[in-house]
Structures are given as structure tokens and as C-alpha cells.
Amino acid sequence: MTPPIVIPFRPVDPKKRLKAIMSQEEREGFARAMLSDVIETVIDAGCTPVLLTTQEIANIDARVRVIVLNLGLNEALDAFRKEQDGPFGIVMADLALCNTKSLMQLAHTSAAFGIVPGTGGGTNAIYIKDGSAFKAQYYGFSFLKHLTWAKEQGYSIEIIDSFRLSTDIDEPDDLVEVLIHTERNTAAYLNQIGFVLCAEEGRVHVKRI
Amino acid sequence: MTPPIVIPFRPVDPKKRLKAIMSQEEREGFARAMLSDVIETVIDAGCTPVLLTTQEIANIDARVRVIVLNLGLNEALDAFRKEQDGPFGIVMADLALCNTKSLMQLAHTSAAFGIVPGTGGGTNAIYIKDGSAFKAQYYGFSFLKHLTWAKEQGYSIEIIDSFRLSTDIDEPDDLVEVLIHTERNTAAYLNQIGFVLCAEEGRVHVKRI
């Protein structure tokens, strides 16, 4: 059976590292576009999406279970896991490049603990067989902290090697990855607000037209 | 049979985007450390490494075939492929995170053309069955250019999804990935010249001690 996949989400004033190139309204629209791609992928992978949001949001797919908890990420996940008695996954809402294949690799791991690093030391996705035991330690060295914790528990561990799942979209240059590697809601949203790819001195960036 | 793997290399004044944090001598030592990790991985994957270098370098593993061609990357690869009548791979010398599993996925693809994107639109690795036909188009939008070219040739294509192969080490923050995800020559070299991980405001960087 496929596990539920928790997607933590903050709908208001998200993606602050894009402030220099997007208004708050645009950042909120962009975060929603990424969320919709992640939700669709979770459903396509045969899993149940659980949206763990800091506040109610409109127009969410009826197949999504919504939990509103106005808490920090670690605190919200800690409150969630206490109610679980089976496995679950956690997938960040900004994995705009995620696809069914990479997500199924996580959801169908034979290990007791699956983890996908994010660039810069973060944790982009987790699978935990013994859900109620999970201890969320996001921010900073979270990949190493989660990995150390899983080793201490004696879990079998799979570190999933996926560019698509390891790419979280935080910085202006990360938009390059969206425009090159996807054609879904997130890329459509970027096109709609005028972002295009450009090459300068052999390197690729985005610009606004 | 496993294909030869070409590793293009520029030994003098490499990795210019690390100038702010490393001397030229250090950048040269760092590039050599990454090269040695890539060569070892290619050998462990059962493939023959072919070092395509802009000038002679000392102390190269005897199992490596060395070709000296003082040309630009695209021109050197073009000269190389004209001599080939079988498949070969191309792996960038700065893929410090590469491991046997990810490299074997490339070398054993059943497609006529395998490609690994780099972050920022680049191409980190290629496998081409019909080696003599290859047209190198590195720099700028090289991933999209190589992909478009392969489609135009009518090749079957596999885009390999690997964080380890998609991570090339160019910028100071990329050193974080080396120190978190490897314990080989490259990480040892960084430790030796004093780089360590540090977390600031929930994000991970490197600093020099």
C-alpha cells in the first residue's frame, strides 16, 4: 500500500528569497503553482496527499486531505506524526521538478527510512515506515541531522539519488531549472508573469520581459 | 562491454568562480582532487577513463589513457570523436559527488543517447552509442542543445535523474555538497586547506578556519 504524503505549506508571504524579482502576490501565486504540481505528482504516484498548511486555502483538489496547523514546520510535523500509526512520506511543496518516477522511488523504498537531500544541506523528502516515531529536524544541517537520527534508531536507510527531488526552488537562479526541466503549472505561471531563459557569458539565467 | 569515458580537464587556472576563496594553486589542487575521484569512480564502474587534457600532467593512474589537446572543450571533443567508431561517454571532471551506481546508470543505458543535466542549463555527462556522430555543444543552454540534437538524430534518449551526477562544483556554496555528501579525495583536500561546514540563519555554507 502506498503511504500518505504530507506536504507542508505556508500560503502567505512565501519564498522570501525571491523578493528581489517577484511581488508578494506573485510569490504566493508561484508557491501555489508549485504546490499544485507536487499534489498532482503525489496523486499520479498513487499516494494520498495530506496538505499541512498554516492557514486555510481555497480551491484545493478534493482528493487532498487538508490539515490546518498554524505552527512552525518542525512543530506541525511533530503534531501530525503523533496521530500516525503507519508509514508516511514528507515532500516539500517547492519541488517543482518532482515526477512520478522519482516520487515512487521514495514511496516504495524497501528501507525503513528513505531520504532525499536538498541542495545546501536541507531535506527535501522523507519516507518513514514507523511514522509515529519520526522526529522532524528541519532547517540548517537537516539532512545530516535526519540521517544521524535514523542511524541511531537502527533503521535501514535509503538515500535517494534524484536531481528532480533534490532541486528545491528558492533562489532566482533556481527558476532556470523550472523553465528547462518542466512544462507544468509552475513553468506556465513563470511564463505568464514574464520570466524567460537567457544565456550570458556561457551561463543561463532568467530575465523578465 | 562498457564504453570508454572521456574526462575533459584543464589543469592550469581552473575553477575561476572559486577565485574569491581559493588561490590559483589551491584551485589547481582542488581540480586535481575532483579529477582523481572521477577517475576512480569510472574505473570502479568498469569503464576505461580517457583523460582529455589541455596539457600534460604528472602522476596520473596508469590505467588512464591520456590525450593532450590544447583546444577548447567543444573543439577537443570534436577532434576526439572523429577517431571513434563505437560508443563512448563524457563525464565532466568536477563531478565530485559521482558514484559507481550513478555512473553505471549512464554507461549501461539501453538508449542510443544518455544525458545528465547540470544545474543552470549545462550538461554534466553524456553517453552516445554512435560516438563518431557526436556534436559537442557545451556552454550556455548545452543541455537543451544536446537534447534537441539527439531528437533530431532520431535517437532513443534517456535523461538520467541523479543528484550526484547533476551537481557540478563551480561556486563557493557548491563546496557544501562535497563536504556533506562525500568522504573522498575532494572532501579530504577541502579539509586539508581548512574548509568546514557552518550553519547561519538556518542555511549551510562553508567557512575557512
| B35-46 pLDDT per residue, tens | 999 999 999 999
Q: What is the mean pLDDT of chain A?
A: 96
End-to-end CA distance of chain A: 47
The residue that leads in pLDDT, A142 or A84, is A142
**Distance separating alpha carbons of residues A188 and B49, to the nearest angstrom:** 42
Interface test with B, best of A41, A138, A161, A207 (most B CBs within 10 A): A161
DSSP letter at B131 equals G
Summarised one tens digit per residue, pLDDT across range B64-104 is: 999 999 999 999 999 999 988 899 999 999 999 999 999 99
> Which chain A residues have a beta carbon less than 8 Å from that of B204?
120-122, 140-141
Specify the pLDDT at position A2.
81
* Count of beta carbons in the 10 Å neighbourhood of residue A205: 15
B143 touches chain A (CB under 8 A): yes
* Count of beta carbons in the 10 Å neighbourhood of residue B32: 21
From the list B122, B161, B177, the residue facing A163 with the nearest CB is B161
Mean pLDDT of A33-59: 96
Residue ranges of domains in chain A, CATH in brackets: 5-168 (3.90.550.10)
Handedness of CA B18, B22, B28, B34 (dihedral sign): negative
Interchain CB distance below 8 Å, A204 and B102? no
Over 80: is that where the pLDDT of A141 sits?
yes
How many CB pairs below 8 Å do chains A and B form together? Answer: 82
B139 touches chain A (CB under 8 A): yes
* A window 5-34, beta carbon within 8 A of B: none
A183 touches chain B (CB under 8 A): no
pTM score: 0.96
- How far is A120 from chain B, CA to nearest CA, in Å? 6
**Distance separating alpha carbons of residues B206 and A83, to the nearest angstrom:** 38
Confidence of residue A203 (pLDDT cuts 50, 70, 90): confident
High-pLDDT (> 90) share of chain A, % = 94
DSSP letter at B47 equals P
Close Cβ partners of B88 (under 8 Å, ≥ 6 residues apart): B3, B4, B5, B6, B50, B81, B127, B128, B131
One pLDDT digit (tens) per residue for chain B, 209 residues: 688 999 999 999 999 999 999 999 999 999 999 999 999 999 999 999 999 999 999 999 999 999 999 999 999 999 999 988 899 999 999 999 999 999 999 999 999 999 999 999 999 999 999 999 999 999 989 999 999 999 999 999 999 999 999 999 999 999 999 999 999 999 999 999 999 999 987 789 999 99
B105 touches chain A (CB under 8 A): no
Mean pLDDT of A94-122: 97
**Distance separating alpha carbons of residues B183 and A67, to the nearest angstrom:** 41
SS3 B110: coil
* A window 55-84, beta carbon within 8 A of B: none
Which three cell numbers, joined as nine digits, stand for A97? 521538478
A164 touches chain B (CB under 8 A): yes
The residue that leads in pLDDT, A169 or A200, is A169
From the list B163, B164, B203, the residue facing A120 with the nearest CB is B203
Specify the pLDDT at position A180.
97
Which three cell numbers, joined as nine digits, stand for B165? 551526477
Helices A185-192 and A24-44: crossing angle, nearest 10°?
160
Query: Do A115 and A160 touch, CB atoms closer than 8 A?
Result: yes
Query: Do A22 and A11 touch, CB atoms closer than 8 A?
Result: no
- State the greatest distance between any 2 C-alpha atoms of chain B, in Å, as a whole number: 54
Provide ipTM, 2 decimals.
0.95
Summarised one tens digit per residue, pLDDT across range A13-43 is: 999 999 999 999 999 999 999 999 999 999 9
Report in angstroms the alpha-carbon separations of A54 from A49, A68, B152: 16, 6, 48
Bridge partner list, A116: A125
Amino acid of residue B2:
T
